[in-house]
Structure 1
Amino acid sequence: MTDISIFFNRLQKNFRHWSKWANRRGVSCYRVYDRDVPEFPVALDLYEQKAHLQEFDTGWQISEEEHERWVESVRTAASEVLALPLSSIYFKQRRRQRGLLQYEKTGARGEDFIVHEGGHRFIVNLEEYLDTGLFLDHRNTRRMVQEKAAGRRFLNLFAYTGSFTVYAAVGGAIRSTTVDLSNTYQDWTRRNFELNDMNLEQHELVRADVFGFLDDEVRRGEHYDLIVMDPPTFSNSKKMSGVLDVQRDHARLINQCLKLLPESGELFFSTNLRSFQLDEATLATKNIREISNQTVPEDFRNKKIHRCWLIRKR
């Protein structure tokens, strides 16, 4: 197995750099290591006083005992470099997968705790689900939404735990609607809203299939001034009426959103599908600008972590 000192030294160098970077910007949750050394295919995210380590599937064939020893050496190195107890270093394996597995339970109970970002507070859990409750790669996008939200009606689709809506509300959105199909994540969103003293009458939570929700809103002639849509790559959830494939379905979803926007309306659309191709010819607007170079944060060396477009009605 590869000498753990290679990982230790790179992590130490990274932490020295990124901790200074984060302190200057007032950022307390950020990526410290991003598969920098091929022999250590992990990402390490710091969530204040806890760390989230994810191993990415490389197809390597090693015994279970060897893998357990390797995991413990990586956790121990992280504990020493970050000066955190080993119990605060959480480890997960991230397999190649399709569907909503990113949101599904790991089998561990997990402990909720509160982190801070951009002057807001969010509940995260580093054990219970494959993801944590707060996607750090959309930190910049959330700030951009807050800057655009004043006096506007906001719609958050495939909302996960509602962090975009928290930013929009603080930015001065007059009303918001937050849509997700999961009861678990709608409850998580509600707790995030309460944590940030949001008025739940002004900021509505809707548990719905986004396809059906959009069709109903278009039929009713509803409108929103600012929309965020960050769908999963693929979903065959039993709660949905069909199967979501973001490559196949994005044009239909975007065009329905455009029907809800006034002439001055704007849509943020993002995806983490690496092979994604935006079907501009099918979209009902030509005012489309990719802004991924602005939305992917500096601390993510993997610049393909997501792609994001700002789409305007006019």
Structure 2
Amino acid sequence: MTKAVRVQVKADFVKEFKAGYPLINKDAIKNSDVLKIEGTIIDLYDENNRFLAKGYYGKQNKGRGWVLTRNQQEVIDQAFFEAKIKKALDNRKSLFEDAETTAFRVFNGEGDGIGGLTIDYYDGYFVMSWYSEGIYQFKEHVIQSLTNLIDVKGLYEKKRFDAKGTYIEDDDFVAGERANFPLIVKENGIHFAIYLNDGAMVGVFLDQRDVRKTIRDKYAAGKHVLNTFSYTGAFSVAAALGGAAKTTSVDLANRSKSKTIEQFSVNGLDYESQDIIVEDVFNYFKYAVRKKLVFDMVILDPPSFARSKKHTFSAGKDYPDLLKQAITITKENGIIVASSNCSTFGMNKFKGFIEKAFQSTGDKYKLLEEFSLPQDFKTIKEFKEGDYLKVVFIKKLT
């Protein structure tokens, strides 16, 4: 790359960079006019011309890049990327050796030292996700690093950036051999049908691996389970494999039905004995109340933000009301699995939402166990937003 561009950090932001904060916020930069080409290496200095950190320029939401090193002499080149990726691969050694799990994250952005990039593994195939035009400029370094370090059957990519910050539709295949779809992967022995060439989502959210295993192994047996915002029904499949009496999967997306049927089928489960419903979850709650339906377990894993014809949902504002509706249709001594991937609040505030919802209904509850991101979704304590997942198993008491 060309010579680094010198960027001055405003006094109010110097302390956080010194403390190890990795995201370069657009409000932190005093001379933003020097930032012209995404992918440019930038050196951050305080107002007294003291070096703070070295990173790259790339627009990602309110960010304008990520810190890569605090060593002024370190060169951001092929060797830099290869060292980071090698360390990340070494940290996932136990997962690579686990015959029952063939899908997991091998590189998790700033948690592994390079913000704006994630790499996922699907039974020999790798998927690189790029979150800015800036990090995308280092694509060849990343590909070279991967192919130098590990056997890559095939390589795919997701460009999760454009002017509106959304996914860029493209042929996602990059190199190697193309996979045959569906690609069947395993997670703790559960099978999932994966499509690496079908838009931003591939068929399962890898960050919920520990939660699915817990549902299957500890809570599902004999239960009637409602899975809301069910996507491809992964939680429902886990529950069914754990001996659930019946699962009900509800999602607004039309394709969720065929995708859920497929996930049941690749696990040898009779999808016709399950309920798979295409409906607005909020409407389904009203229907359930009207029909006096109650469930032994209700799984709530909404997107951070969702909009339907009649409803708009924002996790930071509306989660307590959503949970309140779930409490209403949960049996006494039943379980609610409350989950959120919203990065704007942490576990303590999430537990406050739970308290608020139960106060509103007048029911008592007990927190049974909680989960955050699994080990392969590596995070750093200096960037709390990166540890976004919050899942709590709640028992509704009599």
Q: Same fold (TM over 0.5)?
A: yes
8 A Cα contact 2:101 2:189, kept in partner: no
Query: 1:94 — aligned with what?
Result: 160
Query: 2:248 — aligned with what?
Result: 177
1:286/1:93 CA distance change after superposition, 3 Å:
farther
Query: 2:340 — aligned with what?
Result: 271
Which whole-Å deviations, capped at 9, do the CAs of 1:183-220 have from their partners, x for residues lacking one? 11221111111111222232110000000001110121
Query: 2:41 — aligned with what?
Result: none
The reply on whether 1:112 has 2:175 as its aligned counterpart is no
SS at match of 1:241: coil
The reply on whether 1:289 has 2:367 as its aligned counterpart is yes
Q: 1:190 aligns with which of 261, 268, 272?
A: 261
- Shift, 1:83, TM fit: 1.3
8 A Cα contact 1:107 1:128, kept in partner: no
Distance in 2 (alpha carbons) for counterparts of 1:39 and 1:301: 12
Distance in 2 (alpha carbons) for counterparts of 1:53 and 1:47: 11
1:16/1:282 CA distance change after superposition, 3 Å:
closer
8 A Cα contact 1:186 1:205, kept in partner: yes
Say which is worse superposed, 75-84 or 44-53, in terms of deviation: 75-84
Distance in 1 (alpha carbons) for counterparts of 2:126 and 2:211: 23
Q: 1:220 aligns with which of 287, 291, 295?
A: 291
Q: 1:255 aligns with which of 324, 330, 338?
A: 324
1:312/1:207 CA distance change after superposition, 3 Å:
same
Distance in 1 (alpha carbons) for counterparts of 2:306 and 2:116: 26
Distance in 1 (alpha carbons) for counterparts of 2:114 and 2:242: 43
The reply on whether 1:4 has 2:75 as its aligned counterpart is no
Distance in 2 (alpha carbons) for counterparts of 1:114 and 1:207: 24
- Shift, 1:282, TM fit: 3.7
The reply on whether 1:163 has 2:226 as its aligned counterpart is no
Q: 1:300 aligns with which of 377, 384, 387?
A: 377
SS at match of 1:160: coil
Query: 1:132 — aligned with what?
Result: 202
SS at match of 1:289: strand
Query: 2:48 — aligned with what?
Result: none
- Shift, 1:288, TM fit: 5.2
SS at match of 1:129: coil
Greater strand share, structure number? 2
- Shift, 1:49, TM fit: 1.0
Distance in 2 (alpha carbons) for counterparts of 1:161 and 1:282: 27
The code of the aligned residue for 2:127 comes to H
Mapping of 1:53-64 within 5 angstroms? 53-57=128-132, 60=134
Distance in 2 (alpha carbons) for counterparts of 1:191 and 1:221: 30
- Identical-residue share of aligned pairs (%): 26
1:286/1:94 CA distance change after superposition, 3 Å:
farther
- Shift, 1:236, TM fit: 2.3
SS at match of 2:142: helix
Query: 2:393 — aligned with what?
Result: 310
SS at match of 2:221: coil
Distance in 1 (alpha carbons) for counterparts of 2:163 and 2:243: 38
8 A Cα contact 2:372 2:388, kept in partner: no
Which whole-Å deviations, capped at 9, do the CAs of 1:78-110 have from their partners, x for residues lacking one? 23322114xx121223349999x67xx834487
Corresponding pairs, count: 299
8 A Cα contact 2:301 2:340, kept in partner: yes
- Shift, 1:112, TM fit: 2.9
Distance in 2 (alpha carbons) for counterparts of 1:249 and 1:290: 23
1:80/1:109 CA distance change after superposition, 3 Å:
closer
Q: CA RMSD in A?
A: 2.6
Distance in 1 (alpha carbons) for counterparts of 2:273 and 2:162: 39
The reply on whether 1:42 has 2:113 as its aligned counterpart is no
The code of the aligned residue for 1:80 comes to N
SS at match of 1:161: coil
Structure 2 gap segments, 5+ residues each: 2-75, 174-180, 380-385
Greater RCO (Cα-Cα under 8 Å, separation 6 or more): 1
The code of the aligned residue for 2:251 comes to D
8 A Cα contact 1:125 1:133, kept in partner: yes
8 A Cα contact 1:98 1:235, kept in partner: no
- Shift, 1:274, TM fit: 1.1
1:309/1:40 CA distance change after superposition, 3 Å:
closer
TM-score, normalised to structure 1's length?
0.86
1:215/1:118 CA distance change after superposition, 3 Å:
same
SS at match of 1:201: helix
SS at match of 2:333: coil
TM-score, normalised to structure 2's length?
0.69
